């Protein structure tokens, strides 16, 4: 389903933007995953209009980026967050520029509802991630969310197993070591990276709260893109006796976006509805221009 | 992956250099301030010790330039921020690994994730090199 709105606006010099099309909040067991492909946003007048939504601090950060492409991507990232969150205010049109953000005590960004003019407080969580060629934003309600995206073709400069031995768990290294084809091994390494990053970002307590070598993420047999998390903890002095604590509290989905990127989504499952599946709804967007529904996936 | 939000995911200590320059103007109160009110943190110690040598900063810049595939006309200074150069967390970790190899040091993961500028990387390296017994 494609909704193309006012695309002819891009041709005029000074554009007046249409209202943002409102969105229904995700349900409790749903994640909305939005993404922008920067290459698809070419209109300088549209980009200029986007920049008007940014706070002075955000504008400074965009200006600090070295190079036009990095500046554009930084601008699009803030635009994606602001316009997406604004659209979930369904009962009135709100200005994406009036959203205020703050950081939790570990530095994770959140909406500062107290200071947003005209916004209704919503139990909404968001997280963003971007690469050179894709910017993604995940939205959930009631449960924190972590998103990480990586280019599938991203080259690792170090030896993959050496890198894994340094940062991942023994189980993960053993898994990677069974993959003989270097390309396939590199891809699995990247997938694991996105999953682990997504978890740390969902936790929202900074990297030191969950060093990568303290938890193992492994694929769930019989699922496509389903993963589970096991914490490793050393309770005895003997490093060979590690107890692994696997619980279903954290849910993962790994998917591919635009044929070019891996995207990992991690949310917390309050398990109120035991065993009920979780869903990810993926949509590509150009703010104020168009949305495209890409997929609806179920993960367990 | 990089984003304005993830680059600031680590909680940053308040800007120390300003305070140090104030402290240095009052040498008598230096001791009580550094061991009293402030938490003795690795980061604080790095800032109080001398800034890294220019050669170290240059070596770090070379590694950063290579990891991020920067063009020759991207000027790098000690103050250059990794995030502003387009580095994401995977880049930062790769940079740290390259620094470990180059300088024969071992960086803890928490420190690795908190490095955000070339100066910080250089300072951390010199601190660790000093601690490593001579080979």
In a domain, A15, yes or no: no
Contact A129 B6 (CB under 8 A): yes
Contact A211 B110 (CB under 8 A): yes
Q: Give the angle A13-A22-A91 at the CA atoms, nearest 5°.
A: 120
A:B CB pairs within 8 Å: 92
Position B15 scores a pLDDT of 45
A156 touching chain B per CB within 8 A: yes
User: Which residue intervals of chain B bear CATH 1.10.1200.10?
Assistant: 54-131
Position A269 scores a pLDDT of 85
**Nearest CB partner across the interface for B8, out of A81, A107, A135:** A107
A109 touching chain B per CB within 8 A: yes
In a domain, A292, yes or no: yes
In a domain, A17, yes or no: no
Best to test chain B binding among A56, A58, A76, A208 (most B CBs inside 10 Å):
A208
- Single pTM value for the model: 0.82
- Catalytic residue set of B: 88
> CATH number for the domain including A151?
3.90.470.20
Contact B110 A67 (CB under 8 A): no
- Taking residue A153's Cβ as centre, other Cβ atoms within 10 Å add up to 11
**Nearest CB partner across the interface for B109, out of A107, A201, A207:** A207
Chain segment A9-41, per-residue pLDDT in tens? 444 445 688 889 999 999 988 999 999 999 999
In a domain, A135, yes or no: yes
Position A300 scores a pLDDT of 63
Contact A106 B9 (CB under 8 A): yes
DSSP code of B85?
Answer: G
**Least Cα separation, residue B28 to chain A (angstroms):** 34
- Taking residue A91's Cβ as centre, other Cβ atoms within 10 Å add up to 7
Interface of chain B against chain A, CB under 8 Å?
1-6, 8-12, 67, 74, 80-81, 84-86, 88-90, 93-94, 97-98, 109-110, 113
* Per-residue tens of pLDDT for chain A, all 300 residues: 555 555 554 444 456 888 899 999 999 889 999 999 999 999 999 999 999 999 999 999 999 999 999 999 999 999 999 999 999 997 777 899 999 999 999 889 999 998 888 888 888 999 999 999 999 999 999 899 999 999 999 999 999 999 999 999 999 999 999 999 999 999 999 999 999 999 999 999 887 888 899 999 998 877 777 898 988 765 445 555 555 667 678 999 999 999 999 999 999 987 665 667 789 999 999 999 999 999 998 876
Chain segment A97-150, per-residue pLDDT in tens? 999 999 999 889 999 998 888 888 888 999 999 999 999 999 999 899 999 999
Best to test chain B binding among A129, A169, A192, A262 (most B CBs inside 10 Å):
A129
* Three-state SS at B28: helix
Position A117 scores a pLDDT of 80
| Domain covering B54-131, topology | 1.10.1200
Q: Give the angle B130-B84-A200 at the CA atoms, nearest 5°.
A: 75
Domain range for A78 is 30-299
Nearest to B34 by CA among B43, B44, B26, B21: B44
* Per-residue tens of pLDDT for chain B, all 135 residues: 544 444 444 444 444 444 433 333 334 333 333 333 333 344 544 555 567 889 999 999 999 999 999 988 899 999 999 999 999 889 999 999 999 999 999 998 778 878 899 999 999 999 998 887 655
Contact B9 A157 (CB under 8 A): no
Q: For residue B89, what is the nearest residue in chain A, using CA coordinates?
A: A197
Q: For residue B106, what is the nearest residue in chain A, using CA coordinates?
A: A166
β-pairing, A2-4 vs A109-111, is: unpaired
Contact A201 B9 (CB under 8 A): yes
In a domain, A281, yes or no: yes
Split into its structural domains, chain A has a count of 1
In a domain, A177, yes or no: yes
In a domain, A247, yes or no: yes
- What string of H, E and C letters represents the secondary structure of chain A? CEEECCHHHHHCCCCCCCCCCCCCCCCCCEEEEEEECHHHCCCHHHHHHHHCCCCHHHHHHHHHCCCHHHHHHHHHHHHHHHHHHHHCCCCCCCCHHHCCEEECCCCCEEECHHHCCCCCCCCEEEEEEECCCCEEEEEEECCCEEEEEEECCCCCCCCHHHHHHHHCCHHHHHHHHCCCCHHHHHHHHHHHHHHHHHHHHHHCCCHHHCCHHHEEEEECCCCCCEEEEEEEEECCCCCCCEEEEEEEEEEEEEEEECCCEEEEEEEECCCCCCCCCEEEEEEEEECCCEEEEEEEEEEC
**Least Cα separation, residue A107 to chain B (angstroms):** 5
In a domain, A21, yes or no: no
Per the CB < 8 A criterion, the answer to whether A288 and A240 are in contact is: no
Contact A66 B4 (CB under 8 A): no
| Chain B residues near residue A67 by CB distance under 8 angstroms | 74, 86
**Least Cα separation, residue B116 to chain A (angstroms):** 14
ipTM of the shown complex: 0.83
Contact B74 A107 (CB under 8 A): no
């Amino acid at each position: 389903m494609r909704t193309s709105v006012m695309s002819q606006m891009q041709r005029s010099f000074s554009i007046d933007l249409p209202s943002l099309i409102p969105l229904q909040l995700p349900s409790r067991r749903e994640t909305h995953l939005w993404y922008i492909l920067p290459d698809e946003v070419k209109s300088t007048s549209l980009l200029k209009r986007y920049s008007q939504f940014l706070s002075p601090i955000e504008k400074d950060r965009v200006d600090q980026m070295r190079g036009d492409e990095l500046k554009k991507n930084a601008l699009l990232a803030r635009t994606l967050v602001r316009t997406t969150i604004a659209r979930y205010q369904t009962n009135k049109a709100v200005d994406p520029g009036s959203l205020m953000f703050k950081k939790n005590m570990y530095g994770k960004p959140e909406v500062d509802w107290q200071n947003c003019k005209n916004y209704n407080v919503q139990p909404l969580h968001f997280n963003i991630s971007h690469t050179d060629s894709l910017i993604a934003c995940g939205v959930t309600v009631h449960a924190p969310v972590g998103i990480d995206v990586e280019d599938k073709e991203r080259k690792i400069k170090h030896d993959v197993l050496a890198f894994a031995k340094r940062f991942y768990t023994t189980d993960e290294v053993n898994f990677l070591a069974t993959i003989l084809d270097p390309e396939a091994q590199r891809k699995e390494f990247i997938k694991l990276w996105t999953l682990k990053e997504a978890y740390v970002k969902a936790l929202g307590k900074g990297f030191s709260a969950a060093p990568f070598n303290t938890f193992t993420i492994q694929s769930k047999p019989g699922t496509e893109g389903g993963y589970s998390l096991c914490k490793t903890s050393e309770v005895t002095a003997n490093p060979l006796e590690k107890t692994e604590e696997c619980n279903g509290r954290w849910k993962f989905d790994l998917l591919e976006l635009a044929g070019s990127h891996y995207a990992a989504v991690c949310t917390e499952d309050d398990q109120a509805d035991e065993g009920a599946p979780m869903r990810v709804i993926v949509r590509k967007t150009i703010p104020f221009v168009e949305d495209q529904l890409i997929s609806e996936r179920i993960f367990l | 992956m990089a984003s304005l939000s993830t680059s600031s995911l680590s909680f940053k200590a308040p800007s120390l250099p300003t305070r140090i320059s104030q402290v240095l103007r009052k040498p008598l109160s230096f001791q009580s301030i550094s061991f009293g009110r402030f938490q003795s943190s690795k980061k604080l110690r790095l800032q109080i010790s001398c800034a890294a040598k220019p050669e170290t900063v240059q070596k770090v810049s070379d590694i950063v330039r290579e990891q991020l595939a920067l063009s020759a006309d991207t000027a790098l200074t000690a103050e250059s921020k990794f995030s502003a150069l387009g580095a994401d967390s995977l880049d930062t970790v790769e940079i740290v690994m390259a620094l470990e190899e180059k300088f024969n040091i071992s960086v803890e993961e928490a420190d690795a994730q908190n490095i955000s500028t070339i100066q910080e990387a250089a300072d951390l390296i010199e601190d660790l090199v000093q601690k490593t017994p001579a080979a």
